[in-house]
Amino acid sequence: MNWEVQLRKGLWIPQADCWLDAQFPATRSVVSHAHSDHVGRHKELICSPPTARLLRARMPGRRIEHILPFGHKEALTKDVTITLHPAGHILGSSLIELQGEPGTLLYTGDFKLRPSLASENCATPKADILIMETTFGLPKYVFPPDDEIFGNIITFCQEAVADGRVPVLFCYSLGKTQEVLRALQPAGLPVMLHDSALRLTRIYEQFGFTFPAYRPFNADEVGGHVVICPPPHQKGGLLNRIHARRTALISGWALDPGARYRFRCDAAFPLSDHADFNDLLQFVELVQPKRILTLHGFAKEFSLTLRERGWDAWAIGKENQLDLGLGVSG
């Protein structure tokens, strides 16, 4: 028997009678992490304890929550078990390991191999089949060391404050905000957070993360503060309430030439909560899969890179259905 995988709006694994990261209201789905493009209003969901807590804040409502701590193995069907491992992407983010007669299948969700200031460290369990995200699957996406980026962000903030401007850092409210907030600790500058980010930061604290002092955004007292808020194309932008400002995008896409112009900001810093090209290659080496399926971003290009290095690797396209025989080359 082989693993069967169907990609629709999420991955359907018939043998496990379960979806992975379904993006619609499914009967039962494992949720790898609490970012909105990995979840729907499911009847029953399976996730890590921090993911359950974050989802309750972001997506209230009634559902059956099946909370699975990292490293605990449970039965999904009489033939298939599930284990979650930390994925290093955001708080609670999980690699999903399924075990059954066809062997071990590992699905990464979003992951980051380099250690993050705002996530558990990524695990690297061995698996027969690896289904991995490849958002930054081109050789040009190699990020500078985090310390160098943090130093540059702090300098940007200090210079803006010295010039009488408010430094505004565009960060997604879940994950990036908390990482940047922790990175700002040595700067000693007071920080104001957008409402949604503030609520989520409190949840990080409940799971043992500590932060420098921060307070809710208040336009009347913003002078001398660093403001962390979602990028302007997201809801709840604060920009029109801060007049003397200097803005910076904090995103892996900052590596693209022209990012500053595209995102209309004064600076751009390439801090990402995803694996970069080198992380992706290293992760494959550590997991040692017999077959690899790539997903998201530069999936085709990265599967070709892997095949050139001798791996049995294929991109999963839309509406693909694959029968993953371990002995079958494709």
Distance CA(146)–CA(115), nearest Å, equals 9
Residue 6: burial class (beta carbons within 10 Å; 0-12, 13-18, 19+): middle
- Residue 35, interface with Zn ion (CB under 5 A)? yes
Contacting Zn ion within 187-246 (CB under 5 A):
none
User: Residue 39 or 129: which CB sits closer to Zn ion?
Assistant: 39
Q: Tokens 């599967």 appear where?
A: 303
Report the residue number, 110 or 179, with the smaller CB distance to Zn ion: 110
Q: What 3-state class would DSSP assign to 182?
A: helix
Q: How far is the CB of 173 from Zn ion (least distance, A)?
A: 12
Residue 110 in the binding site for Zn ion (CB under 5 A): yes
Residue 38 or 194: the one with the smaller Cβ distance to Zn ion is: 38
- Residues ≥6 apart with Cβ < 8 Å to 294: 132, 133, 134, 137, 300, 302, 303, 306, 313, 314, 315, 316
User: Concatenated DSSP letters for 14-78?
Assistant: GGGTEEES-SS--SEEE---SSGGG----SEEEE-HHHHHHHHHHS-S--EEEE--TT-EEESSS
Nearest approach, Cβ of residue 296 and Zn ion (Å):
10
Region binding Zn ion by CB under 5 A among candidate stretches 16-24, 29-37, 67-75, 137-145: 29-37
* Residue 42 in tokens: 């499911």
Q: Which stretch binds Zn ion (CB under 5 A): 31-39, 54-62, 179-187, 299-307?
A: 31-39
With respect to Zn ion, which residue has the nearer C-beta, 7 or 54? 54
CA count, 13 A, side-chain hemisphere, 1: 13
Q: Nearer Cβ to Zn ion, position 91 or 160?
A: 91
CA 216 to chain centre: 25
Contact in structure between 77 and 15 (CB atoms under 8 Å): yes
* Cβ distance to Zn ion smaller for residue 109 or 289: 109
What whole-number distance in Å separates Cα of residue 155 and Cα of residue 143? 19
Q: Which is nearer to Zn ion, 128 or 179 (CB)?
A: 179
Q: In 211-329, where does DSSP find H-type helix?
A: 259-262, 277-287, 299-308
- Minimum distance between the CB of residue 219 and Zn ion, rounded to whole angstroms? 30
In this chain, which stretch among 104-112, 165-173, 294-302, 317-325 interacts with Zn ion, using CB under 5 A?
A: 104-112
Shortest gap between Cβ of 279 and Zn ion (angstroms)?
Answer: 15
For residue 32, the minimal CB distance to Zn ion (Å) is: 8
Binding residue count for Zn ion, defined by CB under 5 A: 2
Q: What dihedral do alpha carbons 246, 247, 252, 253 form, nearest 10°?
A: -110
179 binds Zn ion (CB under 5 A): no
* Shortest distance (Å) from residue 262 CB to Zn ion: 21
Q: How far is the CB of 241 from Zn ion (least distance, A)?
A: 28
Stretch that binds Zn ion, among 8-16, 107-115, 116-124, 260-268 (CB under 5 A): 107-115
Q: How far is the CB of 33 from Zn ion (least distance, A)?
A: 5
Asked whether the beta carbons of 105 and 98 are under 8 A apart, the reply is: yes
Alpha-carbon torsion angle 43, 49, 52, 54, nearest 10? -170
Q: Which stretch binds Zn ion (CB under 5 A): 33-41, 78-86, 285-293, 317-325?
A: 33-41
The residues of the shown chain that bind Zn ion, judged by CB under 5 A, are 35, 110
